[in-house]
Structure 1
Amino acid sequence: MRARALLAAYLMLGVADSVLAAAEVDGARWVTKPLLMPVLIAFVWVAARPGAEHDLRLPIGALVGGFVGDVGLLVDREATFLVGMAGFAVGHVCYLLAFRRMGITLSPWLPAGYLLAWGVMMAAVCGGLGDLLVPVLGYSLLLTAMAVCAAGVGRRTGLGGALFLGSDAVIALGLADVGLFPGQAALVMPTYVAGQLLLALTWASRPLPGRHADAAADPRSTAASG
């Protein structure tokens, strides 16, 4: 029950923050956005598969990095933006290490496809990034690597990585003043909230009543628990 309550709280916060972001109500977002990752961390801890607690350090580290990123991007200054981007970068490294520990299986076309998409996006935004060009190039390549490796873990995890990548791609378009369609900025938070949740569910029981869910629901949970 605790896991379901925390999941519901995360989803409600995500919807609220997405609406506030779309309406450009920045003040109230200092309540909703910083709460997202702490609630998701609590959910991951409570909903962890039996025996998987020792595997939670890296995903929780990734979500802590997400918290730093969330707060950093709330302030409209380049310095805090860079701090936020660094927080997300640490989170992606944590995800990459966690995925490596779980095992990654990839077909050759998938990294090639993601790299092509990365190149197209960078070509679209590089002219408008100014001093942020180099850090955005490095960060976006790290994020793309995370998304690729997430796809090598499982479909749900891969979708989470793709949504996270899509969210940050929209942010990059905004930084470069590239408008592909009206209201594109409203996509940032819904895709981010969904992406982080799908990534976090990689370490959760199936179904999600709490720590006592049947570990046999996921064959990999048995291996993870030793």
Structure 2
Amino acid sequence: MSTNAYTADSAVLAASIGSAVVYQAMVRASPSYSRMVIKTASTALLSVFSYLRGGPALLVGALALGSTGDAFLAWNDETSFLFGLASFLVAHILYIILFLHAGPGAGDIGAKLQVLQSGDTWRLGTAGALAVSVPAMIVQLMPKVGKGLRAPVAVYSLTIFVMALMALTLESKEIVIGAVMFASSDSILAAGRFLVPTTSAHQGWMHHAVWALYYGGQLLIALGAVARV
């Protein structure tokens, strides 16, 4: 890759991180188009960065869909939430395919699970924690969400679990940590939206934690994936 290409992707990455920092400062602000643009730019620029670095098409697509989901979730109405959920659902599916066909046991789910079982203890422990926490979260959410959201939320939660599980079979610690951070951000987002009262003092730190974990997770996945191109 030429020096100019490295300069371009470095500039795009810096702009992405800058946008993420700016959005963190306004994460609790009222919905607006400027807030939506800054939020969306953070992940959209990660997609551009991955493309410039010659990253896998699945990675570029997943990040682009993430930015689309960010645009929808910048608004608080239920329709936007559903469109955002759909965007992120497809993004997670792309990540699952990407992780499935990477690393040991590429393309073979059975081999992937064997790698996980015989790998580091912390990986297996993390997978076990997810296997317990994801169903527990679904059980808590079902009575709290509207009937029209129950199936989408359950499917989405299970898809996140599979995404994180596939990431845990990879050697890249950046991707593993990033995927777990992404899953954690979604759990906090769901808790804040459906389980914790909007008047609770916890809403403040939860909003900031969701963004930090989400963007940090996407950033680490992107960096881990392009490093192996």
TM-score range with shorter-chain normalisation?
Answer: 0.7 to 0.9
Post-superposition offset of 1:174? 1.9
On the 8 A contact 1:3/1:46 being kept in 2, the answer is yes
Give the secondary-structure state (helix, strand or coil) at the position aligned to 2:143: helix
Pairwise CA RMSD of aligned residues?
A: 2.0
Deviation at 1:74, TM superposition (A): 1.6
Matched, 1:204 2:220: no
- Using CA pairs under 8 Å that are at least 6 residues apart, name the structure with larger relative contact order, 1 or 2: 1
TM-score of the aligned structures, taking structure 2 as reference length: 0.80
Superposed counterparts of 1:134-173, under 5 Å? 134-153=151-170, 154-173=172-191
TM-score, normalised to structure 1's length? 0.81
Partners of 1:29 and 1:112 in 2: CA distance: 37
1:73 Cα offset (Å): 0.9
Which range moves more in the overlay, 147-156 or 176-185? 176-185
Is 1:18 aligned to 2:24, yes or no? yes
Instruction: Give the deviation of 1:110 after TM superposition.
Output: 4.4
Per-residue deviation at 1:170? 1.2
Superposed CA deviations along residues 125-173 of structure 1, whole A, max 9, x for unmatched, are 3321122222111101101110111121122111111111111111111
Q: How many residue pairs are counted as aligned between the two chains?
A: 200
Please tell me whether residue 117 in structure 1 is matched to residue 133 in structure 2. yes
In structure 2, the partner of 1:186 is 208
Query: In structure 1, what is the Cα distance between the partners aligned to 2:153 and 2:50?
Result: 29
* 2:127–2:168 CA contact under 8 A, matched in 1: no
Provide the C-alpha distance between the structure 2 equivalents of 1:135 and 1:8, rounded to a whole number of angstroms.
35
1:8 pairs with 2:18: no
1:181 CA displacement: 6.7
In structure 2, how many angstroms separate the alpha carbons of the residues matched to 1:31 and 1:71? 7
Gaps of 5+ in 2: 1-6, 104-111, 118-123
Alignment of 1:121-136 (within 5 A): 121-131=137-147, 132-136=149-153
**Secondary structure of the structure 1 residue equivalent to 2:186:** helix
Q: Which residue of 1 aligns with 2:84?
A: 84
Q: Distance in 1 between matches of 2:44 and 2:135?
A: 34
Distance 2:8 2:30 in 1: 31
